[in-house]
């Protein structure tokens, strides 16, 4: 693997003048070759005014346009801070899946540092049929969790034409977990008219291990693979990233299996020949924090790493931030994701914080 370039999608040019930060990017390549990046922008990491923005690149991710708002306000009567991820559908339309938090009290952050719970929220989807210039009004999606839900992964269009994405639940503001601590496969068979999340795609014994920031891919033979950020909320033990897989088109999934990588936020993308391109954000339990890329042979449903390489590393040490709940207290970079471009190269995206400013980056990779 070779890193060919790393360019900012957005970085505040005048942080001494105004607070504008960029987080949680993901990319898609339009049929005309342009790269569309969705990323959240706001005054701070949990600011009330955080909304989804779009930046465009016409040179494979090396330069980016000024950002513009992706969606109308979800509810004109309420403040909702939101974030979404895009994909290109087979017909060329751009589909976005996201989630937003109700900010009725502007003096509350999204996360309760004392309980680890989150504000109430919603999951939504939206579609653009003009290359991302305009998106439909975001439509809410009901899920099995009555409290808070994380829908941070993009949709994957499966081989049967259905749309699917792994989601998970969070404790409510008071720390109460309303529902199982697991990952569920959010899915629609009718292009978003109806949705269900009946299938559990990752679950550990004891109902105490997180399945945060899950990601999904489908291999050539139809196998589905999900990966998650796994920590025991009772003991505080930080587990390696675990994967689960399905060989029956997502009707059932295997027990979680360790990748052996002591990561947090992670990502999987299918490659030809039953292989996976995996990304892992390692912020703790390592002498060299950063984003690691792996080429994985999954031909026997086992995580056989063929290549592993540090793709990006922070310029400064990763230290604890006490204003966040413990599980999120080392969030100085994260949410790595990648797409396979038409020319066969890979374009990775992620966010990081440096000198108090959050920025998003696109990184070119040749396998």
* Distance between CA atoms of residues 312 and 309, nearest Å: 9
Residue segments in the chain with a per-residue pLDDT below the cut of 70: 316-331
What per-residue confidence (pLDDT) applies to 284? 81
Rounded Cα distance between 7 and 102, Å, is 33
pLDDT at position 315 is 81
pLDDT in tens, 305-326: 999 999 999 886 666 555 555 5
Give dist(CA 314, CA 6) in Å, integer: 13
The predicted model scores a pTM of 0.95
- Find tokens 């719970």 and name the residue: 117
Q: State the DSSP H helix or E strand holding residue 310, giving kind and residue range, or none if neither.
A: strand 304-312
| Edge-to-edge strand list for the sheet holding 275-282 | 266-271, 275-282, 290-297, 304-312
Tokens of 44: 């701070």
pLDDT of the residue at 311: 97
Residues 6+ away with beta carbon under 8 Å from 20: 12, 41, 42, 43
What's the CA dihedral at 109, 80, 93, 26 to 10 degrees?
-10
79: phi then psi, degrees, rounded to nearest 5: -80, 125
Interval 56-110: pLDDT, tens: 999 999 999 999 999 999 999 999 999 999 999 999 999 999 999 999 999 999 9
Can you give 275-304 as a three-state secondary structure string? EEEEEEEECCCCCCCEEEEEEEECCCCCCE
> Which domains are present in the chain?
2-366 (2.120.10.10)
Q: Which residue has the tokens 């309980």?
A: 115
**What pLDDT shows up at residue 36?**
99
């Amino acid at each position: 693997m070779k890193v060919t370039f790393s360019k900012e999608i957005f970085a505040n040019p005048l942080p001494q003048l105004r607070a504008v930060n960029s987080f949680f990017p993901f990319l898609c390549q339009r049929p005309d070759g342009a790269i569309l990046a969705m990323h959240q922008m706001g005054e701070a990491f949990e600011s009330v005014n955080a909304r989804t923005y779009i930046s465009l690149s016409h040179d494979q991710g090396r330069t980016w346009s000024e950002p513009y708002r992706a969606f109308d306000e979800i509810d004109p009567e309420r403040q909702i801070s939101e974030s979404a991820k895009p994909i290109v559908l087979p017909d060329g339309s751009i589909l976005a899946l996201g989630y937003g938090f109700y900010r009725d009290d502007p003096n509350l952050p999204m996360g309760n540092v004392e309980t680890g719970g989150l504000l109430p929220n919603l999951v939504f989807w939206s579609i653009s049929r003009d290359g991302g210039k305009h998106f439909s009004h975001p439509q809410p999606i009901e899920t099995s969790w009555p409290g808070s839900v994380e829908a941070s992964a993009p949709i994957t269009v499966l081989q049967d034409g259905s749309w699917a994405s792994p989601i998970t639940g969070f404790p409510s503001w008071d720390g109460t977990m309303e529902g199982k601590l697991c990952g569920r496969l959010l899915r629609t068979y009718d292009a978003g008219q109806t949705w269900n999340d009946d299938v559990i795609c990752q679950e550990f014994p004891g109902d105490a291990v997180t399945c945060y920031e899950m990601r999904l891919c489908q291999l050539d033979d139809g196998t589905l693979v999900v990966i998650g950020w796994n920590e025991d909320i009772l003991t505080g033990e930080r587990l390696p990233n675990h994967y689960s897989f399905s060989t029956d088109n997502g009707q059932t999934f295997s027990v979680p299996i360790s990748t052996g990588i002591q990561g947090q936020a992670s990502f999987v993308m299918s490659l030809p020949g039953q292989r996976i391109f995996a990304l892992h954000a390692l912020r703790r339990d390592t002498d060299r924090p950063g984003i690691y890329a792996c080429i994985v042979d999954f031909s026997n449903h086992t995580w056989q790493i063929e290549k592993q390489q540090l793709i990006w590393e922070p310029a400064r040490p990763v230290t604890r931030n006490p204003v966040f709940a413990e599980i999120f207290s080392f969030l100085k970079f994260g949410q790595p994701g990648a797409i396979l471009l038409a020319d066969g190269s890979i374009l990775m995206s992620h966010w990081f914080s440096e000198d108090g400013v959050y920025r998003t980056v696109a990184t070119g990779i040749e396998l």
